[in-house]
Structure 1
Amino acid sequence: MYSSVESPATSTDKPGPSSVSEVSQLIQGLLKSDPQLANVSIIGEVSGHSQPASGHSYFSLRDREASLRCVMFRYGRGHQYLEDGALVVCEGSAGIYAPRGDLQIIVTSAEPAGVGDQQAQLEELKRKLRAEGLFDPSRKRTLPQFPQRIAVITSEQGAVWHDIANVVRRRYPLMELMLVPSAVQGELAPVSIIEAFADLHAYAETETVDAVVVARGGGSAEDLMPYNDEMVARTIFASRIPVISAVGHETDFTIADDVADLRAPTPSAAAELVSPDIAGLTFETADFAQRLMRGLSGRVTLARQRLELTHDRLAENAPDTQLFRDRVDELKARAQDSWARYITIKREGMKRVEAELRALAPHNILERGYAMVRGTDGRVISSATNIEPKENLELTFADGTVEAEAKVVSTNN
């Protein structure tokens, strides 16, 4: 603890500086000495409520213009009325939490007073969006069984991105994971989330994106308010890519959860929902292969037994067919004999026809001393009546041609 130190030169002029603890104690004393602050009654909307294992309740009371930190120790009355969005009347006293220097109200009791303004506005927005069909289960799309690429809209600074990446690497390393950074809390977060969706859809014009996870870690009700924003809800509804909402803890619910195609209780759970378990798939495939082999082996064994049984029955009841076999062999031999003789006769006939055709061939006729007469126009002249006196002729012999002129034309007639 820092203590005040007086300077010899100035000790008679003014007191030395006070320590932080001394100033904190002074403020605490002033708060306790004020009768209005020592016993105060406040009406406000509960926000950011949490109740750890100690049993104490930590929350804020807020209205449209201000917010006060509050604590109700486990012995206080009315813990059951403290939930986000509830309008309550709290009795207690104002004080300072010295380690942080925070002004807080130490609440001794709480009574319900209705629904707070923020919660009422949230419920009204839910009714509006539900009436427009944004929560309709029939429009929700299923996720692909084996996705190639998953986008994650979240902060690049927080642990959420790393948690999702670790789960995906462990379960299904074949899938590509891409980060689309955005703010996850504060007044500018809704605009940042909407812009992240716009960037993602521009990328998806040329590349495959199977689904998008909208994620952030746990926090107070105020921290999660960007995911209750109307324009964020409409952006999720209009997304061409299936959306998984993974906002906060399992007990946190936002409008984004209602609009999305699928709600995951935590970001890590979302990573498990979008990534098949490759170890489980390997086991299932091996098990299926074993069952298939056992099934096929059983069917083959049964078929073999039936075939052997049928063979045995046929062998017992089949007549003696040897006589018929011998007769078939004899007929076959005779048919082959007849066919061979037929082929020989036909071949000899073809040889005679070939010799006759060869004898009648024009070249062979010319070799016997004949000649072929053609006119100058190339026509074959077979009669003297077709020749004019003085007409030029072409005589074709077996060994060449001769050009001649018809001097005199005489016919047998």
Structure 2
Amino acid sequence: MNEEVKLKLSQFLDIIKSQFDDIIGYHSYTIEAEVKAIKQNRNFYYIDLVEIQNGKIVDSARSHIFNPSIMISFLRDINILDIQELVGKKLLLTVRPTFHKTYNFSINILKIYSEFYIGGLEKQKQEDIEHLKDLEIFYLNHETELGEPAFHIAVISGEKSEGFKDFQTILSESGFNYKLTIFPSLVHGEKASGEVLKQLQKIMSQIDNGKIYNGVAIMRGGGGSEGMNWTNDRKLCEMVCKFRVPVISAVGHTVDKSILDMVARYDCKTPSEAAQTLIDIYEEYKEDIESEFEYIVLGIQDLVKRYTLELEGLSKDIPYHISKKVQIYKKELEGFIVDKKVKYHIQILSQSLENIYKNIKYNDPKKILLKGYSLVLDAEGKVINELELNKNYKLLTHGSMYKITILDKSDI
């Protein structure tokens, strides 16, 4: 072993650092890398950078930002509040390689290009839009309808969100009947997309099991566009596209339309606008019902008027025809009754005449005289009884074989 080249570790590291600084340490470079992980310790930021090819990590390096204004300025430019939203994103960086005796090789980040990041996001956004269109589901949720009021709306929002409170207040003051079910979720930051997606899956599961929701409203309580990159999340937006009931996007005051805004059935800037949209739909439905009702009423009134005129025309003819028929039937009935009475009376009279005839025949004077009786007649030929014999009469007495004339009572 050659003791002339024997070095202590610290000496060896000093040599490396010196040579490193002489050769490349004072040069800056512009590199493109993807963020694998990021953390903050006080005012320092530590970022694990990687290069990915065909889905595999081919190189990695540690980096740091010791000047906090670099990160603060970048986050402000790209409207991000949570640094974890940078994970998985590509960055364009100005860096300087460093070698530290304790931490060894590292990369000191001097600048982050917000234009590249925004351009990268826009590029990714356009790729995701094309992906959804290639699947032929981009406009699928636009074909859904809320159905008939009263609406039951599932709301994905912060439970104590001011936006949700505004949404509730406007609906309650409208006088229409609504039912709201809240599904609490983060609506800011890197974790928001995962939580919103989880709640959408929960709502869909309930619908599959027979629960009725007319629509789903995803909302937040206003603010800027910071922390809203989750609204372009491909998995989340794909779920919204496939959702079987209308989705209302009301995620606040953002300048550019997100993919969520584009694929949702209703795109509203604020929860208040979402509430008014529901009220407008309710009003339109109400007007349609009232219009249909008015049409039906007018139709009924027209039918009533028409049939009334027809009935009035018939009523003029009906009394004449009916009265004529009644008169005919009355005469026929009366004739029937008369015929019956006549027949009855004829029968009675015939019987009476028969009896009279029999009595006449039985009381024939000739038959009486043949029995040994005699009749006393006055001068006029009228039969007299014995009580009248005390008077002075010229009498004629008849027998069956003789006649005797008596001139006065002294002759008797």
TM-score when normalising by structure 1: 0.46
Higher relative contact order (CA 8 A, sep 6+): 2
